[in-house]
Amino acid sequence: MSARPGTVRARQQQLARWARRTPGYQATVQHVLPAVRRNATLTDLVWRVFMPQHGVGTLPVPFTGGRHVGGRDAALLPVVGVLALGLDHDEVERLVEQVADLQRCERSFRPLLVLDRPDFATARRHGYVVELVVPQQHWADHPQAGSRTEGAATSWSAYLGRRLADIVDHYQLWHLARVGPVGLDPLDLAVLRAIAPRLPATLEVSVPTEQPPGPPG
Amino acid sequence: MHVIIGVMPATPTVLLLSSNGAGMGHLTRLLAYGRRLPGQVHRHVLSLSQAVPAVEAEGLTWEYLPSQGASGLRPATWRALFADRVTEVLERVDPDVLVFDGTHPYSGLDVALARHPRTRAVWSRRGMWKPGRNGHQLQKAAWFDSVLEPTDLAAPADTGETADAEAVRVRPVTLLDREELSGRAEARAALGLPADGPLALVSLGAGNINDTDDEVGAAAAALTANGIGVCVTAPSIAERAYAGSDVHLVRHFPLSRHFRAFDHAVVAAGYNSFHETLRLGVPTLFVPNTATSLDDQAARARYADRRGWALAAPTLTDGRAPALVAELVERGPELAAQAQADDPGNGAADAAAELLRVAALPTRTGAAR
């Protein structure tokens, strides 16, 4: 019998707190581990022992991938950002349906919606995670350090670039697909359709018949 | 007492950072502070709650950041994301003070604040923690320049870890005061409710309206049997559908503005519901949500019952709902009047003053103001 997720989480947090209080923890994290990671021989050894495969579908990335994929290996599916800016509500609705249809059909990716409008309910119906960026038309309304200190205010495009780099980095995106008013860009759609043949044949991914609940707010 | 005199910027900026949570509590509390800040203060919200667009009604700008639970990321991965995102906002918005409302300041906030030392920080945390829980979080007070506690009307019953912890305590905080409420007719029209007949607000979290083994269903059945119309809240973060049931859905933020639409309330005893119903004079039956990890709603509800401010029951599914509703109809107005007579007033303005005090503190070493 396995422990409940909440219990497991509590134990993990307790263990983490204990580890952080252990003498030498900070030195280990700040100096020893980076040195080990920079050691080419050790890195190669670890890679050979623990990561015999490489490429899409071989590294687990914990992430809420939505209601349309499940199974043992769903966490191995790549996370794909879907960048949809400047759309109206109906266009977002159509886009999300397109992404969901593609995901059900391909079973090859997990989408992260990057929007500039809070269409949370639309995303929640499919269990998709949403990252929001400040819409360009509201940029001037947001408080800016530069405007008060007489320094150079951040441009919206510079802000967007930083946010997207941050999103790609933290969510370990395999690809960032762009979107127009009629849905996924045709080239990006082709890239997404090219994922499935690249996945390991042994991957167990299914389309759940009983849909699990979406992510909490 | 150690007093530090600082210089208030001409147009200070306050960043209101809310954790996620089961409802609107954290956001609402921050908005209560925000609306009592002087008009020239920039107020910007960064929230982990998908209910955050509601703050637009208050004229505030906002941003959203998915919680660890919503994203499904590894906790360590999410903490790094959180730290980088808060850092990005701090550098771009450059607030004079950041106010975090929540009982669990996330690791990563300390990192972001250290990266941007110009910004002062306040931890807003309510009390009434379940005894023996979450005490290790109190160490995080060291990350902040001030700990602000909106006190609880039930504070004498507080036996949790914060009861004796150091904090700047202000009177209980609600977003609105009585004089800001709409009249009964206006409230009912605004909420799309019938102009006549008794109505009760039922806010007990997601439930099954048609199942009397469920708190919501038991409340609805008892109210209906007493000839009272049932109004359930439909918060923007909930997806519960009540289609087909004979109840009124109410959706408005802040709902408390239209509390005069309701003759009675059957609600959980979370901080906001508790203080809004008592301070704003709604005859109430509290049914505490005991499933919360930290909030001691049972103690809060019992205290209100003991003080003669409202009725309280641990559950409505034990067959007592009809009798409790009958008692609410008979005694509710008298209890509500007592609660209002004992109301010490709203602490939101005092809290806003504390934020401005912290905003004016001298910068830490090496930080330019």
A37: in domain: yes
Asked if A142 has any chain B CB less than 8 Å from its own CB, the reply is yes
Residue B158 within any structural domain of the chain: yes
Are B253 and B54 contacting, i.e. CB atoms less than 8 angstroms apart?
yes
pLDDT digits (tens, 9 = 90+) for A200-210: 999 999 988 75
CATH number at residue A131: 3.40.50
Confidence class for position B49, pLDDT limits 50, 70, 90: very high
Any domain includes A55 = no
The answer to the question of residue A65 being in a domain is no
Is the same domain home to A155 and A105?
A: yes
- Verify that B127 and B206 share a domain, yes or no: no
Shared domain check, B198 and B313: yes
Query: Which site among B19, B64, B82, B106 would you substitute to test the A interface, given the most A Cβ atoms closer than 10 Å to its Cβ?
Result: B64
Q: Report how many domains make up chain B.
A: 2
Residues B351 and B313 in one domain: no
Domain identity same for B260 and B230: yes
User: Choosing among A120, A126, A144, which should be mutated to test the B contact, i.e. which has the most B CBs within 10 A?
Assistant: A120
Domain containing A131 equals 74-198
Nearest chain A CA: its distance from B70 CA (Å): 5
**Quick one: average pLDDT of B163-169?**
96
Check: CB of residue B254 under 8 Å from CB of residue B261.
Answer: no
Instruction: Report, as an integer, the average pLDDT of B352-367.
Output: 84
Task: Identify whether residues A18 and A125 lie together within a single domain.
Answer: no
Which DSSP state fits B6?
A: -
Q: Identify which of A118, A120, A170 has the shortest CB distance to residue B80.
A: A170
Average pLDDT of span B33-50: 95
Q: Is residue A69 part of a domain?
A: no
Q: Is residue B367 part of a domain?
A: no
A215 touches chain B (CB under 8 A): yes
| Six-digit token string for B216 | 């919501």
Shared-domain flag, residues B254 and B333: yes
**B354 Cα to chain A: minimum distance (Å):** 22
Residue B28 lies in a domain: yes
pLDDT for residue A197 is more than 80? yes
Q: B72 is in which domain, residue-wise?
A: 13-173+347-359
By CB atoms closer than 10 A (0-12, 13-18, 19+), residue A189 is middle
Nearest to B179 by CA among B263, B58, B260, B275: B260
Regarding whether B136 and B22 lie in a shared domain, the answer is yes
Residues in chain B with CB shorter than 8 Å from the CB of A162 are: 88
Q: Do B77 and A170 count as a contact with CB atoms less than 8 A apart? A: yes
What is residue B39's predicted lDDT score, i.e. its pLDDT?
Answer: 93
Tell me what pLDDT residue B283 has. 98
What integer pLDDT is reported at residue A146 of this predicted model? 61
Render A119-165 in DSSP notation, one character per residue.
Answer: -HHHHHHHT-EEEE---GGGGGGS--HHHHHTSPPPPHHHHHHHHHH
Is residue B7 a part of any domain in this protein? Answer: no
A101 domain-assigned:
yes
Q: How far apart are CA B355 and CA B33, in angstroms?
A: 8
pLDDT (0 to 100) of residue B304: 98
pLDDT digits (tens, 9 = 90+) for A151-182: 567 899 999 999 999 999 999 999 999 998 89
Q: Give the mean pLDDT of B239-252.
A: 68
Number of independent structural domains in chain A: 2
Q: CA Rg, chain A, in Å? A: 21
A124/A186 same-domain check:
yes
* CA B247/CA B230 separation, integer angstroms: 5
- CA geometry: angle B151, B154, B160, nearest 5 deg: 75
Contact residues on chain A for B74, CB-CB shorter than 8 A: 62
| Chain A to chain B Cβ contacts (< 8 Å) | 91
Residue A175 maps to a domain: yes
B residues 48-77 lying closer than 8 A (beta carbon) to A: 49-53, 61, 63-64, 66-67, 69-75, 77
Do B131 and B194 belong to one domain? no
DSSP codes of every residue in B187-242: HHHHHT--SSS-EEEEE-SS--TT-TTSHHHHHHHHHHHTT-EEEEE--TT-----
Is residue B322 located within the same domain as residue B221?
yes
Please count the other Cβ atoms lying within 10 Å of the Cβ belonging to residue B227.
9
Mean per-residue pLDDT for B94-106? 96
Is residue B157 located within the same domain as residue B247? no
Q: Is the per-residue pLDDT at B87 higher than 50?
A: yes
Size (chain A), residues: 217
Q: Tell me: pLDDT of B48 over 50.
A: yes
pLDDT (tens digit per residue) in B268-284:
999 999 999 999 999 99
CA atoms within 13 A on the CB side of B351: 34
Point out the residue among A12, A148, A216 whose CB comes nearest to the CB of B70. Answer: A216
Say if residues B44 and A141 touch (Cβ distance below 8 Å): no
Residue A210 resides in a domain? no
Report yes or no: A124 at the B interface, CB cutoff 8 Å.
Answer: yes
CB within 8 Å: B72 and A64: yes
Task: For residue B95, say if its preceding peptide bond is cis, omega within 30 degrees of 0.
Answer: no
Contact yes or no for A174/A63 (Cβ under 8 A): no
**Closest CB from B11, B44, B70 relative to A64:** B70
Q: CB distance from A93 to chain B under 8 Å?
A: no
Give the CATH number of the domain where residue B37 resides. Answer: 3.40.50.2000
pLDDT for position A41: 81
Q: Which of B37, B52, B71 is most worth mutating to test chain A (most A CB atoms within 10 A of its CB)?
A: B71
pLDDT score for B334:
98
**Considering the domain boundaries, does residue B275 fall inside one?**
yes
Same domain (yes/no): A13, A90: no
Report whether A114 contacts A81 (CB < 8 A).
yes
Within a domain: B248 = yes
**Are both B144 and B79 inside the same structural domain?**
yes
Based on the domain organization, do A31 and A138 belong to the same domain?
no
Q: Which residue of A has its CA nearest to B22?
A: A217
Would the CB atoms of B44 and A143 count as touching at under 8 Å?
A: yes
State what percent of residues in chain B have pLDDT above 90.
83
Whether A145 and B88 lie within 8 Å, measured CB to CB: no
Q: Please tell me which residue of chain A has the smallest CA distance to B79.
A: A170
Q: Is residue A13 helix, strand or coil?
A: helix
Are B276 and B232 part of one and the same domain? yes
> What interface predicted TM-score (ipTM) does this complex get?
0.88
Residue A40, pLDDT above cutoff 90: no
Are B39 and B95 members of one domain? yes
Q: Is A54 on the interface with B (CB under 8 A)?
A: no
CA-wise closest residue to A95 among A86, A84, A103: A84
Is residue B181 pLDDT above 90, yes or no? yes
A80 and A33 in a single domain? The answer is no
Amino acid at position A47, single letter: W
Q: What percent of chain B has pLDDT over 70?
A: 90
Q: If you average pLDDT over every residue of chain A, what do you get? A: 87
pLDDT above 70 covers a percentage of chain A that reads 88
Residue B369 falls inside a structural domain: no
Please report whether residue A117 resides in a domain: yes
Q: Is residue B326 part of a domain?
A: yes
* Phi-psi label, residue B192: left if phi above 0, alpha if psi -120 to 50, beta otherwise: left
Least confident of A37-46, B230-239, B304-313: B230-239
How many helices (H) and strands (E) would you count in chain B? Answer: 10, 13
Burial of A128 (0-12, 13-18, 19+ CB in 10 A): buried
